[in-house]
Each structure stands twice: as C-alpha cells, then as structure tokens.
Structure 1
Amino acid sequence: MIQPKVPIALEGWPFIAFFAFLTLVTAILGNVPGALVFLILTCFVLWFFRDPERFVPFEDDAVVSPADGKVIIIKEVEDERFTGLKAQKISIFMNVFNVHVNRIPIAGKVEKIVYKPGKFYNASSTKAELENEYCASLLTTSSGKKIAVVQISGLIARRVVCWLEPGDKLRTGERIGLIRFGSRVDIYLPLDADLKVEVGDMVRGGESLLARLS
C-alpha cells in the first residue's frame, strides 16, 4: 500500500525560513517570549503550506473538488467571462487552516489562462468574484466539455499562484497552484452536470466528488 506523504509546497519555504531565522535570533538574544511567538508563527506557516497526498477517484466522469474548504455557493449562472456558456457554479471557501494547494477537478487540456489583478475583499463576498485578483484556468475535457477553475484572492490572501500553461494536459487531481493565506476557488460546470454536493458541505481537494458529467 502506498503510504500518504505530507510534503511542503515550494512557495512556502521562504516564509518558513524567515520565521525560523527570527526564532533562532531571538532565542540567541535571550528573548524567550519573542522566540516562542516566532516559533508558533513558524509552525503555523509550516502547517499552512502543507501539501498532502490525496487518493484521487480516477473515473472518467468524476469531477473532484479543486480545493479544501466549505461549499458556500451553488447556482446557475450566465458565465460570460470564462466558458461563455450557461453553467453551474460551485464556490469553495478556504480558511487559513485548510490546505491551500489547488488541484485540477477532471482530466483535460488547458485551453487558456486568464489572470486579472484586483482588490482584496472578503473571499466569501459577492464583490470578491468580480473585483478581487483572480486566475482562471479554462479546461476542455476529452468529451469536449468546457470547465473553468477560478482561483480568487481573499481579504488576507495577497498572491494567487498558478502553475499551469496553455496546452498542458492534466489528469484528475493533479496540482495546479495555490493561494496564500485564505481564499476561494470557483468551478464552472456544464448545466447537465449531476451535482453531488450541497451548500455547507466540507470538501477535500482531489478527493471529494463534486459532480458527474453526463
């Protein structure tokens, strides 16, 4: 049996090293309370950037969650910005304690990456999806379905990181990037997708089943 591993996302190491250095310096200077505070911050950043392995359901029609967190919105929309179609939108809110590495929800080819700088409203608000910084990955499945995965910055998040490039061919559950320090991921699915989640559900990136495509 393959044993799960808990690696650390590469983008986290500068932060971890910075707080670990401050912990060491304050400890050497004899500032015990300060060293304790920086040690706690080091542990928090180390925990925040964790990147655990996930057991992905490799079924052709399965759409898995692109992120860890809570489902806060499910609704039909006229998606003019990304897929250009009517779609079912699922929004997943990630708090600072969730894993923040994002994953591709279903196998397919990346057609386009759209990045837009913006503001930093609370990620659970309506303003966030329209005005916050975001990076959208537009995907076409092997059956020709169009899906959009949109990483959106939040009130605390200040950086959306996307590792994808147009033309990439991905398997379900592969890592696509991360968002630093609290954020949200929206996924736009075809209208005929059979949804398997409800508002309020807690989901795990790469594992939880969001929907099945017809």
Structure 2
Amino acid sequence: MKIHREGTNILILLFLVLGVLNIPVWLFMPPYIIPAIFSAISIIMYLFVFNFFRCPLRHYAGPRKNMVISSVDGKVVAIEKVYEPEYLKSEAIMLSVFMSPLNVHANWYPAEGTVEYVRHHRGRFLSAYLPKASTENERSTIGIVTESGMRIMARQIAGAMARRIVTYARRGHNASIDGHLGFIKFGSRVDLYLPLDTEILVGMKQIVRGGVTPVARLKPPTEK
C-alpha cells in the first residue's frame, strides 16, 4: 500500500510526537495498565491517520472515450440539475460524492482531456454533506475539455474537518483518468458538473471508488 505524498511528513512528525509522549508515560507512571492504555490509544490514532493517507495504485481498465469516472472514493449524495455560473455558465447535472474520514482522499481526474480552467476559492467549512457547501465552502474548481470537445467540471470542496485542499491540476495539463488532480485532507466532497444529456450510471447512496467506478457517459456532438 502506497502512502500519498501529502501524508509523508505528517506521519513522520506524528510518529515522533507520539514516541516522545509515550516514553515518559512508561518511565514515570506505574503500574503498567495506564501506559499500556496510553500506548494503545497512540497506536489507534496513528493507524487512523496512516489509513487516511493511503494511496492505492489504480488503473481503469474499461472504455475511456466519453466516459466519466468517479474522482473519489465515497457515497453519492446528490444527483440534480443546477445552474453552474463559474466555468460552464449553463445548466448542468451535478453529481456529488461525499468522502468520510475513513475513505481514500486522493482525487483522480474524472475524464480524459485537457485542463482548461483552475481556480481556488476561500470560504467556510460547513459540513460537506450540506447542499450549500458547494458554493460557500473552501473549494477548488477544475474545468476540463474532454477528448470529444465537451466541457465538464470537477469541484473539490472542503468539509467541517477538511482544512486544506491540494490541487495539482494546472491549465494546459493533460487530464488522465489514472492521474491525480489533487488531494483533500480529512473529510470532504467532490462535485462533478456534466452536460444535461449525460447518461448517469450510478444512483443515490451508491458507493463508488475513485479512478475505478464509471459514474456517467457523455453524449458527444455526433450522437445528438
């Protein structure tokens, strides 16, 4: 299991801090029951953070043309028609996936194409489950032109626990389903904005995996 680069320094620092805290507990707090409990709590805490920063290697084996793949691991919490004023500037289908702290938090590109737009917005840290989190929370917007010339958008959204969004995508970058567009630390959500005639392949509350689960099929201009 690979550890994401965003977690390497955090895990090293946490290991050192927990080690420093455990040494005096074992030296100066007999009997052994209290140090044992303290060490057990430290191990559980470390394993929780270690689990959060895991980064499985994934390769999408299915057809890629006109396909939209989930950007993240989590649960589908919204599929609805909205107006998207920032990049698409039109009505679109918003498909939202919520990540709990137990999910992998690496973010994959949802489709093959080219990054056309990237912008970070400061904001609040409401629960990522709330509908208004899409427009009020700290967030990053990534606009992608697919290989068929269609525009779609991914939005990384910070949650109540997530205080840092990392976006690797840059304008002009190639977008690949197997590539990471970013990372969100400690619980969050990613919204995908797709054309209205997109065929949605998942349902509400469905569990999806980033870089693996097809969530939609785009209808290219030749099929309209």
TM-score range, shorter chain: over 0.9
Q: Give the structure 2 partner of residue 122 of structure 1.
A: 127
Q: Deviations over 1:105-133 (max 9, x none)?
A: 11011011010011100001022112100
Matches within 5 A, 1:148-167: 148-167=153-172
The one of 37, 43, 46 equivalent to 2:47 is 43
Distance, in Å, in 1 between the alignment partners of 2:64 and 2:6 is 31
Residue 191 of structure 1 corresponds to 196
TM-score for both structures, normalised by structure 1: 0.93
- Is the 8 Å Cα contact of residues 19 and 38 (structure 1) preserved in structure 2? no
Alignment match, 2:210: 205
1:100–1:180 Cα contact (<8 Å) kept = yes
Aligned counterpart in structure 2 of residue 88 of structure 1, from 62, 82, 93: 93
User: In the aligned structure 2, how far is the partner of 1:32 from the partner of 1:100?
Assistant: 31
SS at match of 2:132: helix
Q: 1: distance between equivalents of 2:21 and 2:177?
A: 45
Alignment of 1:101-116 (within 5 A): 101-116=106-121
Q: Distance in 2 between matches of 1:200 and 1:165?
A: 31
TM-score, scaled to structure 2 = 0.89
- The Cα RMSD (Å) is 1.2
Percent of aligned pairs with the same amino acid: 35
Q: Secondary structure at the match of 2:6?
A: helix
Q: 1:164, CA displacement in angstroms? A: 1.1
In the alignment, the residues of structure 2 paired with residue 119 and residue 22 of structure 1 have an alpha-carbon distance, to the nearest angstrom, of: 30
- 1:17 and 2:21 equivalent? no
Consecutive aligned runs of 4 or more in structure 1 exceeding 4 Å deviation: none
The question of whether the paired residues in 2 share the 8 Å contact of 1:74 and 1:199 is answered with yes
C-alpha contact 2:65 2:147 (8 A) present in aligned 1: no
Give the superposition deviation at 1:80.
1.1
User: Unaligned regions of 5+ residues in structure 2, if any?
Assistant: 27-34, 220-224
Match of 1:3 in 2: none
Q: Unmatched 5+ residue regions in structure 1?
A: 1-5
Please tell me the residue identity of whatever aligns with 1:13: T
Residue identity matched to 1:191: L
**Structure ID, larger Rg:** 2
Aligned mates of 1:70, 1:51 — CA distance in 2: 18
Letter in 2 for 1:23: L
The worse-fitting range, judged by mean Cα deviation, of 74-83 and 157-166 is 74-83
What is the identity, as a one-letter code, of the residue corresponding to 2:201? Answer: K
Q: What is the aligned partner in structure 1 of residue 64 from structure 2?
A: 59
Rounded to whole Å, the distance in 2 between the matches of 1:151 and 1:112 is 13
Q: Which amino acid aligns with 1:179?
A: I
Q: How many residues align?
A: 209
Partner of 1:136: 141
